[in-house]
């Protein structure tokens, strides 16, 4: 039977992508990376998709690179990271729709980077984040050194990367790396509740908000405000903006259509 390393389920505007190699804790092989990128590209094109949830099958979220593919032989790590991981992480960041990670278990190595690249994280009480790279003599990659210091501060980022100890979900939430921690049995329902709410929101404004938040991480205040003003022009021309104002004036909830 052909392996399907990424499962795809679309319901009511929410696309759920499940990393599906549970026997190796959803470690990433080339086929999984390809399918994940393909799924994200389809999510970008499909106007019916208004929020993406990323989760893992079985007891783990993702254990990072499949290390069985690394046994022996000459190999270009740079080329592999550039061709497999950078496109996926960049696509999550550039996707102008909310992306929610439902972290069901351990997220290690590039698996942790995948979770960090999502806009929001819901974690189960059993989940943990592991900068596994130092354990195998590698450098944190796939955005880990970008996201971590921004989310938890430089000192904690050093600790997590150097010592490579698992960071439990509750501690991750305390540090601001996770938005919600829930019992394992409630993980998907909580993630989908958040996702359904986002999928019923002003998709275009969310996409522009994501663009502004990332872009303005490295901007001066005046420049950031000017960029916001420019995006506001685009948001101000959407059907959802007109509906939002109309609904406010009519004292009723808005019915956003994502345009």
169 binds ligand T3D (CB under 6 A): no
Contact 98, 121 (CB under 8 A): no
Length of the chain counted residue by residue: 259
Contact 144, 131 (CB under 8 A): yes
Closer residue to ligand T3D (CB): 117 or 194: 117
- Rounding to the nearest 10 degrees, give the CA dihedral for residues 156, 102, 45, 247: -100
User: How far, in Å, are 59, 193, 213 from residue 29 at the CA level?
Assistant: 18, 30, 31
Element (DSSP H or E) covering residue 50: none
Q: Give the residue, chosen from 86, 134, 138, 151, that forms a contact with ligand T3D under the rule CB under 6 A.
A: 138
Q: What share of the chain is helix, strand, coil (3-state, %, to 5)?
A: 55, 15, 30
Closer residue to ligand T3D (CB): 77 or 158: 77
Q: What is the DSSP letter of 68?
A: G
Cα–Cα distance for residue pair 73/83, rounded to 1 Å:
19
77 binds ligand T3D (CB under 6 A): yes
207 binds ligand T3D (CB under 6 A): no
Closer residue to ligand T3D (CB): 26 or 238: 26
63 binds ligand T3D (CB under 6 A): yes
**Residues binding ligand T3D: number (CB under 6 A):** 24
68 binds ligand T3D (CB under 6 A): yes
- The residue whose two tokens read 């106007």 is 47
Closer residue to ligand T3D (CB): 70 or 197: 70
Q: Give the residue, chosen from 65, 104, 124, 203, that forms a contact with ligand T3D under the rule CB under 6 A.
A: 65
- Pick from 178, 188, 189: nearest CA to 148: 178
Please measure the distance between the N-terminal and C-terminal CA atoms of the chain and give it in whole angstroms. Answer: 40
Return the bridge partners of 6, or none.
19
143 binds ligand T3D (CB under 6 A): no
Closer residue to ligand T3D (CB): 81 or 173: 81
Site string for ligand T3D, 115-134 (x = CB under 6 A): ---------------x-xx-
Q: Give the residue, chosen from 6, 15, 17, 27, that forms a contact with ligand T3D under the rule CB under 6 A.
A: 27
Q: Which stretch binds ligand T3D (CB under 6 A): 6-14, 22-30, 40-48, 199-207?
A: 22-30
What is the contact surface with ligand T3D in residues (CB under 6 A)?
24-25, 27, 63-68, 70, 77, 80-81, 106, 108-110, 130, 132-133, 135-136, 138, 141
């Amino acid at each position: 039977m052909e392996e399907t390393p990424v499962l795809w389920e679309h319901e009511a505007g929410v696309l759920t992508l499940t990393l599906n190699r549970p026997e190796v804790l959803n470690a990433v092989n080339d086929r999984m990376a390809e399918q994940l990128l393909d799924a994200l590209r389809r999510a970008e094109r499909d106007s019916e998709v208004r929020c993406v949830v990323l989760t893992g099958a079985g007891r783990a979220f993702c254990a990072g690179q499949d290390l069985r593919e690394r046994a022996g032989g000459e190999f270009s790590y740079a080329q592999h990271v550039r061709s497999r991981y950078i496109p996926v992480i960049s696509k999550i960041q550039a996707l102008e729709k909310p992306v929610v990670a439902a972290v069901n278990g351990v997220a290690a190595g590039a698996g942790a980077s995948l979770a960090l690249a999502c806009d929001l994280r819901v974690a189960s009480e059993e989940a943990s984040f592991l900068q596994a790279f130092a354990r195998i003599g590698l450098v944190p990659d796939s955005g880990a050194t970008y996201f971590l210091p921004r989310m938890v501060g430089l000192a904690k980022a050093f600790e997590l990367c150097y010592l490579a100890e698992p960071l439990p979900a509750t501690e991750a939430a305390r540090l601001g790396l996770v938005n919600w921690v829930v019992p394992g049995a409630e993980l998907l329902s909580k993630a989908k509740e958040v996702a359904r709410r986002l999928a019923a929101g002003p998709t275009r404004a969310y996409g522009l908000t994501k663009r502004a938040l990332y872009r303005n991480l490295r901007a001066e205040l005046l420049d950031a405000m000017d960029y916001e003003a420019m995006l506001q022009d685009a948001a101000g021309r959407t059907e959802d903006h007109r509906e939002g104002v109309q609904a406010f004036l009519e004292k009723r909830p808005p019915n956003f259509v994502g345009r």
